[in-house]
Amino acid sequence: MHILILTKKFPYPLKDGESIAIMNLARNYALAGNQVTMLSMTTPKHNQSVDEAEPELQGYIRFETVWVDTSIRIIQIPVNYFEFIPYHIKRFISPAYRQKLKSILLETKFDIIQLEGLFLAPYIKIAKQYSEAKIVLRSHNIEGMIWQRYAKRETNILKKIFLQQQASKLLTYEIRSTKLYDAIVPISTADHTFFKAHFPHDRIKYIPSGVDADNRFTETTIDFNTIYYLGALDWLPNKEGLQWFLRNVFPQVLQKNPAVRFHIAGRNPGKWTKTLKHENIVFHGEIENAAHFIADKFICIVPLLSGSGMKLKILEALSLGKHVVTTPLGAEGLPDEVQAYISIAEKEADFAEKILSALKNIVRTREKANTAARFVTHHLNNKILADAVLKFYKTIS
* Residues 112, 196 share a domain: yes
Mean pLDDT of 167-191: 95
pLDDT band at 386 (very low <50, low <70, confident <90, very high): very high
pLDDT at 214: 64
Q: Count how many domains the chain has.
A: 2
pLDDT band at 32 (very low <50, low <70, confident <90, very high): very high
* Residues 195, 245 share a domain: no
Q: What span, in angstroms and rounded, lies between the C-alpha atoms of 153 and 353?
A: 24
* Residues 230, 196 share a domain: no
The answer to whether 182 and 127 are in contact (CB under 8 A) is no
* Residues 202, 54 share a domain: yes
The answer to whether 53 and 12 are in contact (CB under 8 A) is yes
- Residue 3, classed as helix, strand or coil, is strand
pLDDT at 66: 98
Backbone torsions φ then ψ of 66, nearest 5 degrees: -135, 130
* Residues 174, 74 share a domain: yes
Query: CB burial class (10 A; 0-12, 13-18, 19+) of residue 137?
Result: buried
pLDDT at 52: 85
pLDDT in tens, 329-357: 999 888 888 999 999 999 999 999 999 99
Mean pLDDT of 54-72: 92
* Residues 161, 48 share a domain: yes
Q: What is the mean pLDDT of the chain?
A: 92
pLDDT in tens, 205-223: 999 999 987 655 555 689 9
**Taking Cα atoms as reference points, which of 375, 376, 373 lies closest to residue 321?**
373
**140 to 20, 53, 112, 116, 137: CA distances (angstroms):** 12, 22, 18, 7, 9
* Residues 294, 175 share a domain: no
User: 248 versus 155: which is more confidently predicted?
Assistant: 248
* Residues 369, 229 share a domain: yes
| Domain range enclosing 322 | 214-379
pLDDT at 219: 55
CATH number of the structural domain spanning residue 355: 3.40.50.2000
* Residues 74, 40 share a domain: yes
* Residues 222, 201 share a domain: no
pLDDT at 83: 86
- How many whole angstroms from its chain centre is CA 281? 25
The answer to whether 373 and 320 are in contact (CB under 8 A) is yes
Pure H helices in the chain: 17-31, 55-60, 76-80, 87-90, 95-107, 124-130, 143-153, 157-177, 189-196, 236-244, 250-256, 290-295, 312-319, 328-331, 336-339, 348-360, 362-379, 382-396
Mean pLDDT of 76-89: 85
Q: What span, in angstroms and rounded, lies between the C-alpha atoms of 334 and 24?
A: 18
pLDDT at 237: 86
* Residues 363, 343 share a domain: yes
* Residues 141, 50 share a domain: yes
Give percent of the chain with pLDDT exceeding 70: 97
